Amino acid sequence: MSKQVELVVYGAEVICASCVNLPSSKEQYDWLQAAISRKYGDDYVTYKYVDIFNPPNEQKYQQFAEQVVEDDMIYPVVLVEDEIVGEGNPRLKTVYQALENNGLTPIS
């Protein structure tokens, strides 16, 4: 594997109304990062957390953050290589499958 795979989590400090009993977006981001690192190592995945109400000054992230807000998406919204793989309560199995579809293999 030589390609970096980007995983982006869009969320907010405030828990969305539909996610009252779920962890915050930031907590889910940290949890995903830890779970993925255990299974695939740290070398080939780059992680980015984007606050939907205060996105970084990069058009790509600003546009999708606006879309999350405007479309009332349930956050966190998880993207692997710009493909939505989870919304609200991301499923680890779905995220793993997306990573493997982008060339990652589990470490032994």
Q: For position 58, which CATH number holds?
A: 3.40.30.30
Nearest residue to 50 (alpha-carbon basis) of 18, 5, 82, 92: 82
The stretch 76-84 carries a mean pLDDT of: 97
Per the CB < 8 A criterion, the answer to whether 33 and 48 are in contact is no
Asked, for residue 13, whether it belongs to a domain, the answer is yes
pLDDT band at 71 (very low <50, low <70, confident <90, very high): very high
* Domains: count for the chain: 1
Whether pLDDT at 44 is above 80: yes
Asked, for residue 108, whether it belongs to a domain, the answer is no
Q: Where are the alpha helices (DSSP H) in 1-108?
A: 25-40, 59-70, 92-101
Structural domain range at position 80: 5-101
Asked, for residue 42, whether it belongs to a domain, the answer is yes
pLDDT band at 51 (very low <50, low <70, confident <90, very high): very high
CB atoms within 10 A of CB 106: 11
Whether pLDDT at 86 is above 80: yes
Percentage of the chain lying above the pLDDT 70 cut: 94
Asked, for residue 81, whether it belongs to a domain, the answer is yes
* Angle, vertex CA 1, rays to CA 84 and CA 32, nearest 5: 40
Residue with tokens 């996105």: 55
pLDDT value for 22:
79
pLDDT digits (tens, 9 = 90+) for 4-17: 999 999 999 877 66
